[in-house]
Amino acid sequence: MSQGDLSEQQEAEGSREGDVIPPPVRRRDYIKWLSLVLLTCQASWHALAAKHARASGALYLNSSVVLISEVIKLFSSIALLAVEEHSLTKAMSLIAHAFRSDTTETLKLSIPALAYCIMNSLFLYSLDKLSAVVQQVTYQLKVLTAAGWGVAMLGKSLTTVQWMSLLLLIAGVLIVQVPTDVLNSSSTSAFELDSDSLCGFLAVLAATFISGFAGVFMEMMLKKKSTSLWLRNIQLAFFGAIVALMNTLSVDHAAVMQGGFLQGFNSATMLLVFTLACGGLLVAMVLKYADNILRQFSTALSILITGVISSLILGDFKPDLKFAAGSCMTISATFLYNLGLPCGFKGSPPGLQSNLPK
């Protein structure tokens, strides 16, 4: 019997006998809910942190933000692996062995590392062009791109309800992106705003395409060999830091030579860096401790929180009926794709049954 089955059996017996739930079960539940709360906060604050950093007047380099976040992610993953192995020495030994013994597989991680570096740069650029909540809703197109890459690279097959949910997702994002006043205005400022929105939308679209590829590539690698998630994060962050450094020196070489890597960094910028670095670590924790249903609630809740904060605090977004309709369609499509139709749905044709456990 596996440790997970044993824990579930102990929990059930404890409930029947009125005993206290065993500490390992309670600890796993604490970690699960803590990781979900933190992921929701991170997903909500991710876009808002970038807006806040720009609003503070910080003239930082986007490439430097990505670089420093990868370095922080690297050392954080090493610390978490040491906690998992109960020894820093053992953790460092595992890292050295992974790099030496399986060089080919390790080098393959440079591909998603490059993809994530480009994705984060596009993500930050799009936030200079779009409001935080519109950007986040549009970013849910990553479900569509991940599905496409999954079919192409992993040979996955989609049910009818999943294809329907993808169409609903596209419709929801398009509704959010349609300008409400561009047809009623012929001023130059309106045209310029529309041009910025188009650039931001294209940047998010490219980011979702790259995110889908990188996610499926990582899934493909994780299925090949059982490896600690923290060890994979270390390898990924290592190559990510190298790629980000090369990107900074090539794209912003003159600016770095003049003002250094940390030019324009202040408390708001560092908050953005830590938010970016925490994203990958929290996703790994949720994948390990939580289930798919709770992850979808986290995604939906983060969109709502971003909308409220963006409207009430930042003042760069005014919700309207069009946005509400598009957001509801996007959130519903995310649930439908990952969870299927509700168990109580009557008259479902073949291929539309729920993916929820019965």
pLDDT digits (tens, 9 = 90+) for 30-69: 777 777 788 778 777 777 788 778 777 778 888 899 999 9
Provide mean pLDDT across the span 128-137: 78
Domain membership flag for residue 351: no
Q: How far is 71 from 75, CA to CA, in rounded Å? A: 7
Which of 21-25, 212-216, 299-303 is least confident? 21-25
Domain membership flag for residue 15: no
Domain membership flag for residue 106: yes
Provide mean pLDDT across the span 327-333: 82
Q: What is the mean pLDDT of the chain?
A: 76
Domain membership flag for residue 296: yes
Q: Which residues contact 168 (CB under 8 A, 6 or more apart)?
A: 329, 332, 333, 336
Counted domains in the chain: 1
Domain membership flag for residue 9: no
Q: Which residues contact 269 (CB under 8 A, 6 or more apart)?
A: 53, 56, 58, 60, 65
What pLDDT is attached to residue 297? Answer: 61
Look at residue 328 and tell me whether its pLDDT is greater than 90. Answer: no
State residue 158 phi and psi, 5-degree precision.
-105, 145
Domain membership flag for residue 66: yes
Domain membership flag for residue 10: no
Confidence (pTM):
0.71
In the structure, what pLDDT confidence band is assigned to residue 288 with cuts at 50, 70 and 90? low
Question: What range does the domain containing 41 cover?
Answer: 25-339
Domain membership flag for residue 7: no
Look at residue 115 and tell me whether its pLDDT is greater than 70. Answer: yes
What pLDDT is attached to residue 345? Answer: 56
What pLDDT is attached to residue 241? Answer: 92
Q: How far is 80 from 94, CA to CA, in rounded Å? A: 13
In the structure, what pLDDT confidence band is assigned to residue 348 with cuts at 50, 70 and 90? very low
What pLDDT is attached to residue 290? Answer: 60
